[in-house]
């Protein structure tokens, strides 16, 4: 009974308190209503007084944007349009090579996801004859757009994790710089197609393209030990692709000849097919024998 008594008293006390609060709010309502115009006027006066400050902030932001755009334009103009096109083409090939050769960990996650999507679209394409289309136009277009949209201040726009690119991975890529040539079949040599190594200028172009990608991404070549090793060994690799006559002992006594070089016994080119010339020689020999 005592517990019920105290519970009833607490309930009455709470109800009385709530009624008192409501009463005071009703009494103060006219004051609140009268204060609303005052506070609205004060907000308007504060806003008008701060307009010069807002304009100054807007002007500073606009100037910063213009300077950034001008700097980006100047950075692009440092390389000729044709040279930049060549760099982008080689870097595009490098990105696709990373994508196809179990080095996808070097591609940014968001960009890798987009490359997988367009690659599926390429594989779903068919030619007019219903065969799978070998062209990877969607993937190449995707990589080209990504390379054009690089912004050093936005890490998600950087296509390749250059800080993790090792010399071993890049040299494997350089070793793929070969092309296939067709020739007449010969039992002594076997296949009709041969892979030949490209000229040193091709390796220079690949290395210059990688350097351009570093600059566009805003990454220093000595940002960590991996990149330091990469660029220190690239120079040695490029040097090894060249054969210099000065490195040969007794270079003055060396004479280099190629299969296509003209010799003393090389027949004179007359424009007449070789078989006609041979038949004419046979006829001449027959006449002499008679």
pLDDT tens profile 9-21? 778 778 878 877 7
**pLDDT score, position 71:** 67
CA dihedral defined by 54, 55, 60, 61, rounded to 10 degrees? 70
Between 248 and 82, name the one with better pLDDT. 82
Q: Worst-scoring range by mean pLDDT, 16-30, 113-127, 223-237?
A: 16-30
Q: Worst-scoring range by mean pLDDT, 70-79, 82-91, 187-196?
A: 187-196
Which pLDDT band holds residue 25 (cuts at 50, 70, 90)?
confident
**Chain-wide mean pLDDT for the chain?**
77
Beta bridge partners of 194: 181
- Percent with pLDDT over 90 in the chain: 10
Structure tokens at 265: 């016994």
Q: Which of 134-148, 168-182, 259-273 has the highest mean pLDDT?
A: 134-148
Token pair 């500073």: residue = 60
Angstrom CA distances, 110 to 104, 105, 158, stand at 12, 12, 10
**pLDDT score, position 284:** 79
**pLDDT score, position 188:** 45
Torsion-angle region of residue 190: left (phi > 0), alpha (psi -120 to 50) or beta? Answer: left
Between 287 and 266, name the one with better pLDDT. 287
Give the integer Cα–Cα distance in Å for 93 and 129.
28
Identify whether the C-beta of residue 208 lies closer than 8 Å to the C-beta of residue 93: no
pTM for the full predicted model: 0.56
**pLDDT score, position 262:** 61
What is the rounded average pLDDT of the residues 247-267? 57
**pLDDT score, position 75:** 58
What is the rounded average pLDDT of the residues 94-102? 90
User: Is pLDDT above 50 for 34?
Assistant: yes
**pLDDT score, position 160:** 92
Non-local (6+) Cβ contacts of 104 within 8 A are 98, 112
Give the integer Cα–Cα distance in Å for 188 and 96.
37
User: Is pLDDT above 80 for 55?
Assistant: yes
User: Is pLDDT above 70 for 252?
Assistant: no
What is the rounded average pLDDT of the residues 34-46? 78
Which pLDDT band holds residue 258 (cuts at 50, 70, 90)?
low
**pLDDT score, position 22:** 79
What is the rounded average pLDDT of the residues 261-271? 62
**pLDDT score, position 282:** 78
Give the integer Cα–Cα distance in Å for 151 and 166.
23
- Give 154-189 pLDDT, tens digit per residue: 888 899 999 999 888 888 888 776 666 565 554 444
**pLDDT score, position 245:** 45
**pLDDT score, position 200:** 67
| φ, ψ (nearest 5 deg) of residue 194 | -125, 145
Beta bridge partners of 282: none
**pLDDT score, position 7:** 77
Element (DSSP H or E) covering residue 63: helix 51-77
């Amino acid at each position: 009974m005592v517990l019920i008594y105290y519970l009833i008293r607490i309930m009455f006390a709470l109800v009385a308190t709530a009624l008192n609060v409501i009463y005071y709010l009703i009494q103060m309502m006219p004051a609140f209503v009268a204060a609303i115009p005052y506070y609205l006027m004060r907000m308007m006066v504060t806003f008008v007084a701060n307009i010069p400050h807002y304009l100054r902030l807007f002007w500073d932001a606009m100037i910063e944007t213009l300077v950034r755009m001008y700097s980006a334009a100047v950075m692009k103009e440092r390389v000729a349009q044709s040279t930049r096109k060549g760099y982008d083409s080689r870097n595009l090939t490098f990105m696709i090579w990373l994508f196809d050769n179990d080095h996808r960990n070097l591609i940014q996650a968001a960009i890798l996801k987009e490359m997988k999507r367009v690659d599926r679209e390429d594989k779903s394409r068919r030619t007019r004859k219903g065969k799978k289309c070998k062209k990877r136009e969607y993937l190449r277009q995707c990589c080209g757009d990504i390379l054009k949209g690089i912004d050093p201040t936005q890490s998600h726009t950087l296509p390749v994790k250059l800080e993790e690119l090792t010399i071993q991975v890049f040299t494997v890529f350089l070793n793929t710089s070969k092309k296939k040539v067709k020739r007449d079949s010969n039992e002594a040599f076997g296949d009709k197609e041969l892979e030949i190594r490209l000229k040193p200028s091709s390796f220079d172009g690949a290395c210059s393209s990688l350097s351009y990608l570093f600059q566009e991404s805003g990454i220093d070549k000595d940002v960590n030990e991996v990149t330091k090793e990469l660029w220190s060994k690239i120079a040695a690799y490029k040097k090894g692709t060249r054969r210099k006559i000065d490195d040969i002992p007794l270079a003055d006594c060396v004479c280099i000849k190629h299969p296509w070089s003209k010799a003393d016994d090389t027949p004179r080119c007359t424009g007449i097919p070789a078989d006609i010339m041979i038949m004419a020689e046979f006829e001449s020999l027959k006449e002499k024998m008679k």
